[in-house]
Amino acid sequence: MTAIKKSASTVSTVPTVSEYVQRQWGDRRTGLRYGDLALTHHQIAAGAAARAALLTELLPRGVEPHLGVLLDNTPEFPFWLAAAALAGAAVAGINPTRRGPELARDILHTECRVLVTGRVHLPLLDGLELPGVRVLVTDTEEYERLLAPYEGARPGEATLGPVRPDSRFLLYFTSGSTGAPKAAICSQGRLAAAGEALVSQFGTGRDDVHYICMPMFHGNAVIANWAPALTAGATVALRDRFSASGFLDDVRAYGATYFTYVGRAIQYVLATPERADDRKHALRIGFGTEAGAVDADRFARRFGVRLVEGYGSSEGGAAIQRTPGTPPGAIGRPAPGGDLAVVDPSTGRECQRARFDEAGRLLNGADAIGELVNRGPNPFEGYWRNASADAERRRGGWYWTGDLFFRDTEGFLYFAARADDRLRVDSENLAAAMIENILARWERVTGVAVYAVPDPVTGDQVMAALSLRSVFDPSAFAEFLSCQPDLGTKMAPRFVRVLGRLPVTATNKVHRAGLRREGFWEGEGEVWWRPPGAESYRRLSEADATSQLPGPPGGPPARPARDRGGMG
């Protein structure tokens, strides 16, 4: 075994992730649970130290200190996060739903010289050209032999150089509507600060159990769940992959008190059969995005658990904090230190404050909805090797989130849509998220996504994809819409696609880009539509499609979507 280098000492008031990992040494309380496995904080620190020592030997000198982690949520994932922190390396979370050249591109773009994976994912690497990449397969005897010489390592002994707050720690991919995913940079100091802030916000501590069921290759699980658990000294409980049917059983088995969610995870849990013991658990709080006010209320009534909808740009450029008195539907006010504004992207001028009628309907959406920007200093640390994406985010010295918001006269901010989810119907700007929140009230709905399809003349028409508890009843749906006081005249969907389940990404976010591409021409499920001037919906027929609707670009009208049934 070659000599292990001693880390250089640094003086800083800003903590690092490495420091928090080192504090676990000697702590014999349970720090990690995974099925029947239970490890102490000390065992986690010892395992991380061994992996850090191995990493310093495997990474060639003079290269970027990056490793890729292509794993489900097994104990090896937090082991390698902690190991990278100790060694002063950066982890690129590799998405196992990526395939072929796209998967290879993610690994090579982030310059990973070591790739940690398991046997279950080895088929994904078959045939890929990954020059200079050393693959470690965790559930093998060879892996155990590689680690064995470093079993006596102590945290902080083996490093690749000085470990500082500004040391690069995460390279996590954020998807966009076009182009390849961008790898956002997060330093050790920023992640530690994020963990400390969430501990302060939610009052979690050493006795809490953080349930991580969202994928750890994504920023949500690491930044909003693993980091606060580490800084609080709490226990982490892992689930390989999110399971709606297994959620409550896991929560009970682990004694979980805190969890995070993204996308449609909450809808999936609510779609499981109700049980008499739904409230028998220790869970106190869930923190995440995109649950929506209706589902958050249903979750609280059924499980007795408060969901806190937060907003924090994955890149760190903007944050909104929920405070007491936040109105229903609002996210909150700008977090301390930010100078957030809602601006018209075409002019850079601040939008009008939102006005509502007595039913809570936004009256001036065309003038109030704009892009959320941070005009002050912010912790955005850039994208890896992507100068054009950096410039797009930092236009004019501001941080542009790419998300649409509106702001009321009291300063509360309301999420409207991703920038790509804005619709323009009859010259009126609409936000997909606002329409989704209304459609989610229908008792038959288990999932909803709203997106734009082209209008035959100009602009957009509203299309909604619905997953339902029963077959689609066009009359009942039309009656429901007519009873919604805040559904504007341009908001009612012209088209409805009924699906067994909404298509989602690996992070449980609705795959809107795919739905937009399919429009009313392709894809699964039934397609219904409301002809101009009609009050009810009918099945979209080939005759309707041929005579009434625009054809796909560059070709004649396509056949309507094939019927795959309307059960949810």
Residue pointed to by tokens 């850090």: 52
CA 212 to CA 210: how far, in whole Å?
6
CA 53 to CA 83: how far, in whole Å?
8
Express each pLDDT in 152-164 by its tens digit: 999 999 999 999 9
Give me the amino acid identity at 260: T
CA 499 to CA 502: how far, in whole Å?
6
Whose CA is closest to 33, among 73, 69, 84? Answer: 73
Share of the chain above pLDDT 70, in %: 91
Q: Does residue 68 contact residue 76 with C-beta atoms inside 8 Å? A: no
Express each pLDDT in 323-371 by its tens digit: 778 888 888 999 887 799 999 988 999 999 999 888 777 888 889 989 9
Residue 455, both tokens: 């209008």
Express each pLDDT in 64-123 by its tens digit: 999 999 999 999 999 999 999 999 999 999 999 888 988 999 999 999 999 999 999 999
> Which structural domains are found in the chain, ordered by start?
17-201 (3.40.50.12780), 311-420 (2.30.38.10), 441-548 (3.30.300.30)
Express each pLDDT in 209-242 by its tens digit: 999 999 999 889 999 999 999 999 999 999 999 9
pLDDT of 428 over the 70 cut: no
Give me the amino acid identity at 407: R
* Residue-averaged pLDDT of the chain: 88
pLDDT of residue 458: 63
Alpha-carbon distance values, 162 to 3, 58, 136, 311 (Å)? 17, 18, 25, 33
Give me the amino acid identity at 208: D
Q: Does residue 297 contact residue 287 with C-beta atoms inside 8 Å? A: no
CA 538 to CA 548: how far, in whole Å?
14
Whose CA is closest to 500, among 475, 521, 472, 479? Answer: 472
